[in-house]
């Protein structure tokens, strides 16, 4: 049932009934935001890690108080929580808080391990990339790769995203033939955690 001021009592009754059914069937949602009205929660599972998307239906939330409000998101178990859009680490735990407006859209990464670093091993034809974390079981990571010129600017011809197999990937490249003299760097960002590492190229 869609949320509106006129049917808020009925919506609340349906929510209570649904929660009773889930509890009786021992069904536990991976994520829930009990106080967040008019919201859709989406989860994408990738080898034990999750992308958690939370968005509000503007047609429903437009009937609510437009002021910013803090809501708590509860998780089924503890994860290392990252804000995918703001590119930052939040915390480790089974709950966290976020400030919502009627049109808020959020995306979070839930990892069973914390990304500590990225290793970059250059080879004659590219670079071997690997996420470093205290685990043997990795989700599939994404690497944003940039070639930084001596001026400090990114060479757009090399700006790309490399899909990893687990925590590892290979970026095939060679410096441009017309490269100016100076120090070039390879900048690598793990998209899921936003951990970034740079390495000078010789």
The string of pLDDT tens digits covering residues 17-75 is 555 654 555 556 788 888 887 778 899 999 999 999 998 777 766 667 778 889 999 99
Q: What are the residue ranges of CATH 2.60.40.1930 in the chain?
A: 115-201
Which architecture characterizes domain 115-201 according to CATH? Sandwich (2.60)
For residue 183, pLDDT beyond 60: yes
Residues 35 and 72: beta-carbon distance below 8 Å: yes
* Nearest-10 Cα torsion for 112, 191, 136, 108: 10
Question: What is the pTM for the complete model shown?
Answer: 0.81
Q: What are the residue ranges of CATH 2.60.40.1180 in the chain?
A: 5-111
Which architecture characterizes domain 5-111 according to CATH? Sandwich (2.60)
Cα–Cα distances (Å) from 129 to 125, 139, 144, 189, in that order, read: 13, 15, 11, 10
């Amino acid at each position: 049932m869609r949320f509106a001021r006129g049917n808020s009592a009925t919506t609340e009754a349906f929510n209570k009934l649904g929660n009773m059914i889930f509890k009786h069937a021992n069904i536990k949602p991976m994520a829930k935001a009990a106080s967040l009205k008019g919201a859709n929660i989406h989860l994408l599972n990738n080898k034990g890690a999750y992308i958690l998307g939370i968005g509000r239906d503007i047609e429903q939330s437009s009937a609510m108080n437009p002021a910013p409000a803090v809501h708590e998101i509860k998780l089924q178990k503890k994860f290392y929580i990252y804000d995918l859009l703001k590119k930052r680490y939040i915390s480790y735990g089974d709950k966290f808080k976020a400030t919502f407006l009627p049109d808020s859209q959020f995306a979070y990464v839930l990892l069973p391990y914390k990304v500590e670093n990225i290793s970059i091993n250059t080879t004659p034809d590219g670079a071997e990339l690997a996420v470093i974390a205290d685990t043997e079981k990795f989700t599939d990571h994404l690497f944003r790769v940039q070639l930084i010129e001596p001026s400090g600017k990114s060479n757009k011809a090399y700006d790309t995203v490399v899909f990893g197999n687990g925590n590892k990937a290979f970026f095939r490249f060679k410096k441009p033939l017309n490269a100016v003299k100076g120090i070039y760097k390879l900048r690598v960002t793990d998209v899921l955690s936003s951990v970034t590492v740079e390495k000078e190229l010789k």
